């Protein structure tokens, strides 16, 4: 395997949702607990910008406008103009303030999908939502989740996970709801995932210090290998770089009694796999 590189000195309490921006050749990710957006330019190895975000910002995603990003937070959904640092609210958080957003991604049709969870991860009150454009309202798709994670579209099906249940789900979207087709128990705690162009799902296993490779071409998410990591709590991953074969991995220090110096770091490894470009929210 190629060496794993530690990027920068920032150590996140809860690093999450790495997104590669092809237009700017930069990586964005968030620290949910600290309320920060981080942005890294690989061609300028010392350049990492840190911006303040609203409470419990779980994702900053791409839009059709290169200068504006979609922010998913406990305050609601907003557009963020990076140059001016100005927020334009789109809609309020659709639940009580004792929940927060978790996973978020842009669907193939340009809609935003995002999940909610109990702030303390103690109640089974999480939901999945869909927001189809800047003038729409969030549409509730599925209820009774613990910690909804991973959101992958592959061959007309949707894959997601519930971390506390230790499960992956294969589902279909139809008639305004997310319909579960199959449930798969997996080992450990599945967190965020990335997908290669040929259908390999790469899943971060929280607490297990590894990434797991799954082939979605079978009847179940068959685990075919794993990559050991130097961080205890990997949280998510995405492909970036000019050829989309650099795998960036976020991690967290949150909950560790004795975190090591590297816990919470952003990691990078150059692979022989090729990822998929990040989708953009349709304005």
pLDDT-flagged residues of the chain (< 50): none
All structural domains of the chain, each given as residue ranges with its CATH number in brackets, are 5-270 (2.120.10.30)
- Coil, strand, or helix at residue 182? strand
In this predicted structure, what is the pLDDT of residue 45? Answer: 79
In this predicted structure, what is the pLDDT of residue 3? Answer: 93
**Helices (H), ranges, 123-216:** none
In this predicted structure, what is the pLDDT of residue 219? Answer: 64
Q: Which residues contact 246 (CB under 8 A, 6 or more apart)?
A: 42, 239, 240, 268, 269, 270, 271
- Residue 112 sits at φ, ψ, to 5 deg, of -90, 135
100 annotated ligand-binding residue:
yes
CA dihedral sign of residues 181, 187, 190, 193:
negative
Q: What share of the chain is helix, strand, coil (3-state, %, to 5)?
A: 0, 55, 45
State pTM to two decimals: 0.96
120 annotated ligand-binding residue:
no
Closest CA to 249 of 228, 224, 277: 228
2 annotated ligand-binding residue:
no
pLDDT in tens, 49-100: 999 999 999 999 999 999 999 999 999 999 999 999 999 999 999 999 899 9
In this predicted structure, what is the pLDDT of residue 1? Answer: 59
Catalytic residues: 191
In this predicted structure, what is the pLDDT of residue 2? Answer: 81
Structure tokens at 77: 């959904």
In this predicted structure, what is the pLDDT of residue 175? Answer: 83
């Amino acid at each position: 395997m190629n060496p794993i590189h530690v990027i920068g000195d920032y150590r996140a309490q809860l690093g999450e949702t790495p997104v590669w921006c092809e237009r700017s050749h930069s990586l964005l990710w968030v620290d949910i607990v600290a309320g920060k957006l981080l942005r890294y330019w690989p061609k300028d190895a010392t350049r990492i910008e840190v911006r303040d975000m609203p409470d419990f910002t779980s994702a900053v995603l791409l839009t059709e406008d290169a200068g504006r990003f979609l922010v998913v937070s406990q305050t609601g959904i907003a557009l963020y103009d990076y140059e001016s640092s100005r927020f334009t609210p789109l809609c309020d958080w659709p639940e009580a303030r004792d929940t927060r957003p978790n996973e978020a991604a842009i669907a193939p049709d340009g809609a935003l999908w995002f999940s909610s969870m109990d702030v303390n991860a103690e109640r089974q009150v999480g939901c999945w939502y869909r927001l189809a454009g800047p003038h729409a309202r969030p549409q509730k798709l599925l209820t009774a989740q613990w910690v909804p994670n991973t959101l992958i579209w592959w061959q007309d099906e949707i894959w997601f996970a519930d971390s506390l249940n230790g499960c992956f789900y294969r589902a279909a979207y139809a008639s305004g709801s997310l319909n579960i087709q199959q449930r798969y128990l997996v080992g450990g705690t599945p967190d965020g995932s990335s997908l290669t162009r040929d259908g390999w799902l790469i899943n971060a296993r929280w607490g297990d210090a590894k990434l797991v490779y799954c082939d979605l071409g079978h009847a179940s998410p068959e685990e075919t290998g794993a990559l050991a990591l130097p961080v205890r709590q990997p949280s998510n991953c995405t492909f970036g770089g000019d050829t989309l074969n650099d795998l960036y991995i976020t991690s967290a220090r949150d909950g560790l009694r004795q975190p090591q110096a590297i816990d919470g770091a952003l990691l990078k490894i150059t692979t022989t796999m090729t990822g998929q470009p990040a989708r953009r929210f349709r304005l």
